[in-house]
């Protein structure tokens, strides 16, 4: 009986600690965000014609490729460097102000690049050109909101960060539904602008979070470290995103069928949405792993608990969704998308590996400043993804794209997890390696 009471006490203390540090706010808001995002996709695919949705998907895919360079990686760089300086508010604000200036300025350049591409280069699906042109200012409004979120995170205001995310997602859902109802695929673009602009204004007014901050100059050495972290993080994140973007891009190039692209996009909605689970966990634990990066015992024990918990949870999720795939797709997206069941099941399995191993280990490697390995892993995964898509899509169509994604997830999971375990044996790292 005493052991049971002791166990209950330990659980209660753990729950209270998680509550007080904002874990449930982060996880809860991320869950709500994904549910709202899923509802948005669910409603939109029923309001917009399948071929038109495929065209929008392809244009948005091109935009996502360009956004790999977003802010020159300053959002990630600022978050990492500020997390290492938690408690030093003046230093954090200097880093934040400088990173924001560089990031926004770079994204203005990206907007110009988008305009040039949309105006002077004919895409494989020509109707996507006009949509891409309408998306040109997206990089600027996106990064302004992202920096506001970073400001809250580096002040350990997890509750406020959660509310900010939910406000943005709720507005995006609302205006996406209204926009697609009255303006079809163009309405989705208008919705994004309105939602992000209103979100930034609301967060500025309610949480007193600056949009742009003017501070004293930061030290030259700090700049060097910031640029190093930011650029390598940009390359790492970019290569990671390529894993999710390349399949639709190649499908558009090889198959050139808006309906097939629309079906494959639908197959990715739920598997992609599920990444909120490891993402929410990593969002919460990241500052703590960064602060304790030299404490070998703490990192090892925390990583073991994290991995075991994610393995059990993701296994149950993946098995349940695979078994009920036809019902889920028919219920949420309609019978016109039942052709995507096979792809859906393959991608769900890919989520299991990514959400359990690759996503966790990859994020924790950043806390150890093992950025170059993530870059290496991204290059290997990107190359495998490119080769797999080129070889399999002409033969198997969208199923080939799904098999390629699964194979890449397995390869990248082995690489990331294996290397992080190696890092744990020599945990004290003070320089970027």
pLDDT in tens, 48-74: 988 899 999 999 999 998 898 999 999
Task: State phi, psi for 424 to the nearest 5 degrees.
Answer: -60, -25
pTM as predicted:
0.73
In the predicted model, what is the mean pLDDT of residues 18-29? 59
Question: What percent of the chain clears pLDDT 90, i.e. is strictly above it?
Answer: 35
Q: What is the distance between the alpha carbons of residues 321 and 212, in angstroms, rounded to a whole number?
A: 43
d(C-alpha 159, C-alpha 57), whole Å: 33
**Would you say residue 14 has pLDDT above 70?**
no
Q: What is the pLDDT of residue 5?
A: 46
CB 228 within 8 A of CB 375: no
Element (H, E) at 85: none
Of residues 311 and 12, more confidence is placed in 311
Which residue carries 């494989």 as its tokens? 124
pLDDT of residue 25: 61
Q: Give the Cα-Cα-Cα angle 421, 425, 429 (nearest 5 degrees).
A: 100
pLDDT tens digits along 129-141: 999 999 999 999 9
Q: Distance between CA 97 and CA 216 in Å, rounded?
A: 9
- Tell me which range, 33-37, 160-164, 311-315, 363-367, is most confidently predicted by mean pLDDT: 311-315
Longest dimension (CA), the chain: 75
pLDDT at 167 over 60: yes
| Separation CA 26–CA 131 (nearest Å) | 33
Q: Are 347 and 268 in contact (CB under 8 A)?
A: yes
pLDDT at 201 over 60: yes
pLDDT tens per residue, range 227-259: 998 988 888 777 777 767 888 888 888 887 888
> Domain extents for the chain?
25-218, 238-433
pLDDT at 288 (0 to 100): 77
Q: Give yes or no for a contact between 388 and 328, defined as CB atoms under 8 angstroms apart.
A: no
């Amino acid at each position: 009986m005493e052991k049971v009471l002791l166990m209950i006490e330990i659980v209660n203390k753990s729950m209270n600690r998680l509550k007080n540090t904002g874990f449930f706010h982060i996880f809860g808001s991320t869950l709500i965000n994904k549910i709202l995002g899923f509802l948005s996709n669910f409603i939109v695919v029923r309001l917009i014609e399948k071929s038109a949705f495929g065209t929008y998907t392809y244009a948005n895919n091109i935009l996502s490729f360009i956004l790999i360079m977003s802010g020159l990686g300053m959002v990630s760089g600022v978050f990492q460097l500020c997390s290492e300086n938690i408690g030093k508010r003046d230093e954090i604000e200097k880093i934040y102000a400088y990173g924001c200036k560089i990031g926004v300025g770079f994204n203005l350049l990206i907007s110009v690049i988008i305009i040039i591409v949309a105006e002077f280069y004919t895409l494989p699906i020509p109707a996507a050109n006009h949509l891409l042109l309408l998306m040109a200012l997206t990089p600027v409004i996106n990064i302004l909101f992202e920096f506001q979120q970073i400001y809250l995170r580096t002040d350990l205001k997890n509750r406020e960060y959660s509310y900010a995310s939910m406000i943005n997602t709720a507005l995006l859902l609302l205006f996406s539904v209204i926009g697609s109802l009255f303006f079809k695929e163009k309405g989705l673009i208008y919705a994004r602008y309105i939602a992000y602009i209103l979100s930034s204004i609301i967060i500025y007014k309610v949480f007193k979070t600056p949009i742009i901050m003017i501070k004293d100059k930061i030290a030259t050495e700090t700049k060097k470290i910031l640029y190093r972290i930011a650029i390598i993080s940009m390359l790492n994140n970019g290569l990671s995103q390529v894993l999710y973007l390349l399949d639709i891009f190649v499908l558009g190039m090889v198959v050139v069928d808006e309906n097939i692209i629309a079906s494959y996009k639908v197959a990715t909605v739920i598997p992609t949405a599920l990444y909120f689970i490891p993402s929410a966990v990593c969002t919460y634990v990241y500052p703590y792993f960064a602060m304790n990066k030299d404490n070998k015992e703490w990192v090892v024990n925390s990583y073991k608990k994290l991995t075991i918990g994610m393995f059990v949870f993701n296994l149950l999720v993946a098995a349940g969704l695979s078994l009920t795939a036809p019902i889920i797709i028919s219920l949420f997206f309609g019978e016109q998308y039942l052709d995507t069941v096979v792809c859906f099941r393959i991608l769900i399995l890919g989520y299991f590996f990514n959400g359990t191993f690759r996503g966790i280990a990859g994020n924790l490697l950043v806390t150890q400043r093992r950025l170059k390995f993530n870059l290496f892993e991204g290059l290997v995964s990107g190359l495998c993804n490119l080769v797999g898509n080129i070889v399999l899509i002409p033969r198997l169509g969208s199923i080939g794209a799904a098999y390629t994604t699964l194979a890449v997830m397995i390869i990248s999971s082995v690489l990331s997890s294996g290397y992080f375990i190696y890092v744990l044996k020599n945990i004290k790292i003070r320089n970027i390696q």
